[in-house]
């Protein structure tokens, strides 16, 4: 019996029985069918990595690509495009980011520049600037214009005499306006030490200002000189823990000096020693601890006497009067007792002077505020 060379499948014999030979053929066809199916399955499932392929092409043309570029060619093309774009620009402006930053990241940079150039002053053609734009331009150049003469926020014009018309001049400060301003100022009963008072130096027109603290200090020195000379002693306040020595006038039995004992309490320990004609001591808890010796003033009497001294001073009130310098008298109300002149201002163009008066007052604890000339 003969078989195929490769797969050893049975072949029919020409001299064999027909039925047996057909059975051989059927067997061979079944084997062929199975072999073809196995080949088909194996072919369909067979895969290879590209790297495992043998005899691969070494050029793009070998793969049928006619318009491709190698990595080196791509790098050279990119470099040439970048070089053409930069075209020799410096390192500070050779990237799109640097260019965007330099332009302020303004997508409408051309419009912005055009609008800015539109409001710049040209020297080759006229421009329709508004009045405000012209004024701003002159201000920037520190220059004067001609079209704005006599107009608000413009420049002053000149009249036929070469002078600026009064209507275009600002309000001038005169003695009349200063006096009116003072007369219309808010009153203040008790000025603060830092408040200012204005005045004019004697023999001229130079104005000056002084604080209320300085005025009080000056008044205090002035009145202290008067009243201390009258009373014959200088009040002194002492806070001490030692002995206070007081000289006595033996023949008269009176103290030769006086002490401001405002803060001496009734039970404050005092040791008073006579320096002439013997001595006397009064100590805390003794029989005369609350008075200055037998028949002397008690501390309450001393306190009451002290409350008749001047402890403060001030200016109060305000009266304005007009004085007619042509001998016509005064107007604006009369003054009261103790008022003194604080300022005199002549009005411009008329024979009238504005006179301001205020009242100096003294404070005495037992009497309150009293006018200096109203006792």
33-37, 50-54, 362-366, 370-374: segment of lowest average pLDDT = 370-374
pLDDT of amino acid 178: 76
Longest dimension (CA), the chain: 194
| pLDDT band at 282; cut points 50, 70, 90 | very low
Separation in Å, CA 45 to CA 39, 63, 96: 10, 25, 52
- So what's the pLDDT on residue 214? 93
Contact by Cβ (8 Å): 198, 209:
yes
- 276 or 177: which carries more pLDDT confidence? 177
Q: What share of the chain is helix, strand, coil (3-state, %, to 5)?
A: 30, 20, 50
Confidence of residue 336 (pLDDT cuts 50, 70, 90): low
Beta strands in the chain (DSSP E): 196-200, 207-211, 244-245, 248-249, 254-255, 272-273, 312-324, 329-331, 340-346, 352-364, 368-371
Rounded mean pLDDT of 287-307?
A: 72
Mean pLDDT, the chain, whole residue set: 76
pLDDT higher than threshold 80 for residue 274 = no
292, pLDDT greater than 70: no
Other CB atoms within a 10 A radius of the CB of residue 40 amount to: 10
Residue 211 is predicted with a pLDDT of 93
272 within 8 A of 246, measured Cβ to Cβ:
yes
Task: Say if residues 233 and 259 touch (Cβ distance below 8 Å).
Answer: no
Quick: pLDDT tens for 229-266: 666 656 555 554 444 445 555 665 555 444 444 445 44
Query: What is the per-residue pLDDT for 334?
Result: 56
Residue 210's pLDDT is what? 92
Give the count of alpha carbons within 13 A of 327, CB side only: 0
pTM, two decimal places: 0.25
- Which pLDDT band holds residue 150 (cuts at 50, 70, 90)? low
Cα dihedral sign for 111, 117, 119, 124?
negative
Cβ of 361: how many Cβ atoms within 10 Å? Answer: 19
Is the pLDDT confidence value at 167 over 70? yes
The pLDDT-based confidence of 350 (bands split at 50, 70, 90) is confident
Q: What is the pLDDT of residues 5-56, one digit of tens each?
A: 888 888 888 888 888 888 888 888 898 999 899 888 888 888 878 888 888 8
Condensed to tens digits (0 to 9), the pLDDT of residues 172-224 reads: 777 777 778 878 888 888 889 999 888 888 888 888 899 999 998 998 888 88
Residues 6+ apart with CB under 8 A from 146: none
Beta-carbon contacts of 348 under 8 Å, excluding residues fewer than 6 positions away, are 174, 175, 176
- Mean pLDDT, to the nearest integer, of 328-350? 72
- List, in sequence order, every residue forming a beta bridge with 260; answer none if it has no partner: 237
Mean pLDDT, residues 299-323: 84
């Amino acid at each position: 019996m003969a078989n195929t060379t490769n797969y050893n499948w049975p072949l029919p014999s020409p001299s064999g029985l027909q039925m047996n030979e057909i059975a051989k053929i059927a067997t061979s066809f079944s084997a062929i069918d199975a072999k073809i199916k196995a080949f088909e399955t194996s072919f369909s499932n067979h895969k290879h990595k590209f790297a495992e392929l043998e005899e691969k092409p070494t050029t793009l043309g070998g793969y049928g690509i006619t318009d491709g570029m190698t990595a080196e060619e791509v790098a050279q093309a990119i470099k040439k495009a970048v070089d053409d774009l930069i075209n020799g620009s410096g390192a500070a402006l050779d990237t799109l980011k640097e260019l965007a930053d330099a332009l302020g990241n303004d997508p409408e940079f051309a419009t912005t520049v055009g609008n800015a150039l539109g409001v710049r002053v040209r020297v080759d053609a006229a421009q329709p600037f508004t009045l405000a734009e012209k004024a701003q331009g002159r201000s920037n150049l520190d220059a004067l214009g001609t079209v704005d003469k006599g107009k608000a926020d413009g420049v002053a014009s000149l009249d036929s005499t070469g002078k600026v018309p009064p209507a275009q001049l600002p309000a001038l400060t005169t003695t009349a306006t200063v006096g009116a301003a003072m007369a219309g100022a808010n009153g203040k009963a008790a000025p603060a030490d830092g408040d200012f008072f204005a005045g004019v130096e004697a023999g001229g027109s130079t104005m000056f200002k002084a604080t209320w603290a300085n005025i009080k200090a000056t008044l205090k020195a002035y009145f202290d000189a008067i009243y201390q000379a009258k009373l014959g002693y200088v009040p002194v306040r002492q806070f001490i823990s030692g002995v206070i020595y007081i000289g006595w006038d033996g023949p008269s039995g009176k103290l030769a000096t006086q002490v401001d004992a405002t803060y001496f309490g009734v039970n404050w320990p005092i040791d008073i020693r006579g320096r002439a004609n013997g001595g006397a001591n009064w100590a805390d808890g003794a029989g005369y601890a609350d008075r200055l010796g037998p028949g002397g003033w008690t501390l309450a009497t001393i306190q009451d006497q002290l409350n008749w001294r001047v402890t403060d001073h001030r200016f109060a009130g305000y009266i304005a009067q007009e004085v007619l310098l042509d001998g016509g008298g005064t107007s604006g109300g009369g003054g009261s007792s103790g008022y003194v002149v604080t300022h005199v201002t002549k009005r411009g163009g008329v024979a009238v002077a504005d006179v301001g008066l205020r009242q100096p007052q003294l404070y005495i604890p037992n009497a309150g505020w009293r006018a200096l000339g109203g006792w």
